[in-house]
Chains A and B, each alone.
Chain A
Amino acid sequence: MNQELLILQFQQKDAKAYEKLYNLYCNSISGVVNNIVKNDDVAQEITQDVFIKAWNNAETYSPAKGRFFTWLLNIARNAAIDYTRSKKFKQSKQNLNADFFVDILETSSSLDSTTNTIGLKEFVTKLGETCKSVIELLYFKGFTQKEASEELNIPLGTIKTRNRTCIGELRTMLGV
């Protein structure tokens, strides 16, 4: 099924079309949320909320503003970050030390559904530190290019090309 058509139907509040989009992206969104909140139950709750929120705000999405997936990512990261600012989260005394997605991947015991998880684990452990940080900040945390550049103390233009190299390695590994 063509994705542009699915998105159009989703914007028409077509639940069947939305189910397909949900199945495409729910694991990814859960991964991003989990990386921020670091709690399985909370991650599940927030992820479901993200998809309900996206449905309720379907008309605000516009392809001219970016990819549908990116739109979901933004909703998810904002929802997860909002949670980390809440009392509930602070009371749970979470360890806020930079716990990278890499660590989650390494400690992950559930290898459900995705056959690539094992390969991905191997891949990320071999990644250079810069790649790990750049991917973490840009994709999982939603940093802008400028913010990432300041955080990592790497020149602005270098972030762009370095990230391209990192993602290039990932794509070679995944064959996409």
Chain B
Amino acid sequence: MHWRITHNVGRLKMNTKDYIASGILELYVAGSLSEKENEEVHAEILKNPELLAEVQSIENAIVQLTAAAKKDAPYSFNDIKNQLKVEEPKVISITKPTSNWLQYTGWAASIIIGSILVFTLSQNNQLKEQIASEKQQLEAQIDSASTNLAAAEKLITIFRDKDIISIPLAGQNVSPTSYAKVYWDKKTNSIYLDAKGLPEPPKGKVYQVWSLKLSPLTPTSLGTLDTFTADANKIFTIENINESEAFGITLEPAGGSISPTLEQLYALGAVSS
């Protein structure tokens, strides 16, 4: 097999073997290259997995060599763990009422009772109308329930299909209790995302789903969940033609983003190989 990659130096065309033999990757690991050179090497590695493997191997050798110069006592992560700042939720202070509230309570109570009386009368009329419209809604719901049942049965067959890979996505720092699950059907190039474990997105924000390649980390957008709030079962069918190695969900401004906002990573999970 003969790889050919175009290297960005003048008109020089270098193949992978020559590129590796040049020794640039060893300097890359050492951190001896300029910022610009680093970016160039990184770009080459993105294009060619053979280069990544070589870099990892060089790094492995250097890690072992440098570790041999260690002379102090063994290390434990616990020694630094309590010194790592973890962002804690801000405490909202409750201000105590300072005014003479007892005096006002009586007045307030009588005003409230009065208003409730007026309100109840008008409510009564409204309720009558509401009952009529709810009756109609109920009928519509029964009608749609039978359709939903058929949809639910379809979902069950999807989840039970042995050729469909299921990938749990765990909640991340911004929302540790969140979770989601991806069912990936490679035959039809589609994923079914069960997003019931995500909180309602705040106004003006939308969840965006990402397919990730891991070495190196390359996100590809699979689209935004625009109908999240309206969707009852929170299961979304999304086309995915990527060779995904992980899936992630971020919270983005409405319309989605070009690249994921990592501070707003809600759920993440790797495809087990």
Contacts and interface: CB of A to CB of B under 8 A. Distances in A.
Contact of B65 (A2, A51, A135): A135
Given A34-B69, A35-B69, A65-B35, A47 B59 contact: no
Contact of A34 (B23, B39, B71, B77): B71
Interface in A93-107: 101, 104-105
B258 to A, nearest CB: 15
A112 B81 CA distance: 23
A160 B27 contact: yes
Interface in A42-83: 43-44, 47-48, 51-52, 55-56, 63-67, 69-70, 73-74
B70 A48 contact: no
B77 A161 contact: no
Nearest to A143: B32
Given A65-B39, A66-B42, A120-B64, A171 B59 contact: no
A24 interface: yes
Contacts of A140: 66, 69
Interface stretch (B106-114, B177-185, B192-200, B213-221): B213-221
Given A35-B69, A171-B58, A70 B28 contact: yes
A164 B26 contact: yes
Interface residues of A, number: 77
Given A67-B28, A161-B22, A163-B27, A12 B69 contact: no
A41 B73 CA distance: 9
Contacts of B27: 138, 145, 160, 163
Contacts of A116: 64, 68
Nearest to B34: A144
Contacts, number: 207
Interface in A127-176: 135, 138-140, 142-145, 148, 160-164, 167, 170-171, 174, 176
A105 B68 CA distance: 6
Given A55-B85, A64-B39, A67-B29, A117 B270 contact: no
Contacts of B73: 40, 44
Given A114-B67, A174-B61, 11 more contacts: A8-B265, A9-B172, A12-B263, A27-B75, A40-B73, A41-B72, A48-B75, A105-B69, A114-B68, A143-B32, A174-B64
Interface of A: 2-5, 7-9, 11-15, 18-19, 22-32, 34-35, 40-41, 43-44, 47-48, 51-52, 55-56, 63-67, 69-70, 73-74, 101, 104-105, 108, 110, 112-114, 116-117, 120-121, 135, 138-140, 142-145, 148, 160-164, 167, 170-171, 174, 176
